[in-house]
Amino acid sequence: MTMILTQAQLKEYQEKGFILLPDYFSALEVERMKTEQAHLLAGNSDYTVLENDKTTIRSIHGSHTNSNVFQNLSQISRLVEPAMQILNSQVYVYQFKINIKAAFSGDVWQWHQDYIFWRKEDGMPTNRVTNVVIFLDDMNEFNGPLFFIPGSHQEGMIDVVSQNTTDTKEQDKTQWSANFSNNLTYSLNRHTVANLVNKYGISAIKALAGSALFFDSNIVHASPSNISPFSRSVVIITYNSVENIPVSIPNKRPEFIVSRDYQSITPISDSVLITK
């Protein structure tokens, strides 16, 4: 299934900073991805981030490099072609992660923008980059849904001083995982968030498993903790324009966090999620 966004959908993305696409993946495709996620959870822990309890998995990174299922997912036309439309460019996978909000223990993601991390940590020149969320479970008002401030991407990158006090010479898991913890390196303060919500409002995302959501790298977003008995997981793939390659900087983050394979993706058939 080739999926091209309509002009109305592109306009919605440009104005709101995100667009939700229900029924984007079949139940069989979702089940295939959830099965693969379970395999990853049982495997190598080097690419994972834990919650503060040191046992609950918060996120898994770089799965498109060690999983055929997720590598195929990142290349299917259903995702790549809309990303190319949004960015008006060929694209490559910049980042791939699975974020998990475990039942009762999935912690908060503070208010933030994504692009500031990529500019300050990786040297990305502009915000010509987009994210797509694939919902592996239902997301509702109970299990720590995504919050967006619609239109806040129009503010551009809101500069924030890093809260990471780790020695930048330490290229270990402690350093890079700070960007994915419940105390984010570039989180926004309450005053800024309150002003943005007063100006733009706030949206809580509710979506069924199999939905997809594209969102701008400068939209302000967050999610509360999950104190419900309902776990939920999302895959988030970041597509960067091949015309927006990060500049070389010292103390680079690991390859599984930030891909340095800048080869543009040739979209593949959507059927590979089921057939391979």
pTM: 0.93
Backbone angles phi, psi at 178, to 5 degrees: -60, -25
- Helix runs in the chain, H state only: 7-16, 27-41, 68-75, 77-87, 115-122, 173-177, 190-200, 272-275
Name residues of the chain where pLDDT drops below 70.
Answer: 1-3, 44, 164-183, 276
What pLDDT score does 40 carry?
Answer: 93
What pLDDT score does 215 carry?
Answer: 99
Let me know if residue 1 belongs to a domain.
no
For 159-245, where are the E strands, in sequence order?
203-204, 212-216, 221-223, 232-241
What pLDDT score does 177 carry?
Answer: 53
What pLDDT score does 82 carry?
Answer: 98
Let me know if residue 273 belongs to a domain.
no
Range of the domain at 104: 16-266
Residue with structure tokens 């793939």? 237
Which CATH number does the domain housing residue 110 bear?
2.60.120.620
Cα–Cα nearest to 228, from 131, 137, 93: 137
pLDDT digit string, tens, across residues 102-140: 999 999 999 999 999 999 999 999 999 999 999 999 999
d(CA 193, CA 199): 10
Partners of 77 in beta bridges: none
Partners of 239 in beta bridges: 93, 130
Let me know if residue 185 belongs to a domain.
yes
pLDDT digit string, tens, across residues 234-253: 999 999 999 999 998 888 88
- Total domains in the chain come to 1
Let me know if residue 240 belongs to a domain.
yes
Let me know if residue 276 belongs to a domain.
no
Let me know if residue 7 belongs to a domain.
no
Let me know if residue 45 belongs to a domain.
yes
- Pairing between strand 57-61 and 203-204? unpaired
Let me know if residue 210 belongs to a domain.
yes
